[in-house]
A = this chain, B = another copy of it.
Amino acid sequence: MRNLMWLAAAALLGVTACQPAETPEQIQARMEQDSEELRAAVASATQRWEAWTAAGQTDSFATLFTEQGRELPPNAPPVAGREAIAAFHAQQAAMGSSTVDITSESVMAYGPLGIDRGTFTSTLQPGPDAPPGIPTADTGKYLVHWHKVDGNWLIADLIWNSDLPLPQPER
């Protein structure tokens, strides 16, 4: 009886204290499980991103982001919040018809935090409003900070850059 009481007390203590006391094996197991879940969300988001780009469906991108989510494009200031993200994509689409091909290479998640790294190639067929000399093809890499909000994986931060050298400036 006394043993059982100790066991019950120790186990109850364990329940309240267990959270930070993970073993390396538990951390590894949870990382694999949570990453698997995020991997499915990333695959779905990537497919939609590519389809929306090809269709010029610019008002859809913001739905993948958190309320305060940020898109951090190269050679432009940060774009913060869903409204600004929608406007940014509308502005991009006004340059012409685009395609993008995204390849996620590494996905990791733990609890509500996730990270996704990958590569992309993109093309632009410039429209009449595009500035002269705008790049028509790009290839590069990206990093996404995913955040789980009310059970849904959303983009908190998305940043990318080009592998291609800077154009030589005019002299």
Asked if A128 lies at the interface with its beta carbon under 8 angstroms from chain B, I say no
Bound state CA distance, A110 and B14, in angstroms?
Answer: 20
Instruction: Decide if A22 touches B167 in the complex (CB within 8 Å).
Output: no
Chain A, interface size: which category? 35 or more
Query: Which residues of chain A from 50 to 69 have a CB within 8 Å of any chain B CB?
Result: none
Instruction: Decide if A161 touches B159 in the complex (CB within 8 Å).
Output: yes
Instruction: Chain B residues near A108: list those with CB within 8 A.
Output: 113, 145
**When the two chains form the complex, which single residue of B30, B70, B164 contacts A75, counting CB atoms closer than 8 Å?**
B164
Asked if A44 lies at the interface with its beta carbon under 8 angstroms from chain B, I say no
Instruction: Chain B residues near A143: list those with CB within 8 A.
Output: 72, 143, 145, 157, 159
Instruction: Chain B residues near A83: list those with CB within 8 A.
Output: none
Closest B residue, CB atoms, query A5:
B4
**When the two chains form the complex, which single residue of B15, B111, B161 contacts A74, counting CB atoms closer than 8 Å?**
B161
Closest B residue, CB atoms, query A76:
B163
Query: Which residues of chain A from 88 to 141 have a CB within 8 Å of any chain B CB?
Result: 108-115, 117, 133, 135, 141
**When the two chains form the complex, which single residue of B74, B113, B165, B170 contacts A110, counting CB atoms closer than 8 Å?**
B113
Asked if A43 lies at the interface with its beta carbon under 8 angstroms from chain B, I say no
Chain A to chain B contacts (Cβ below 8 Å), 14 pairs: A1-B1, A4-B4, A7-B11, A7-B12, A20-B30, A20-B33, A31-B111, A31-B112, A115-B145, A141-B159, A143-B159, A166-B166, A167-B167, A169-B170
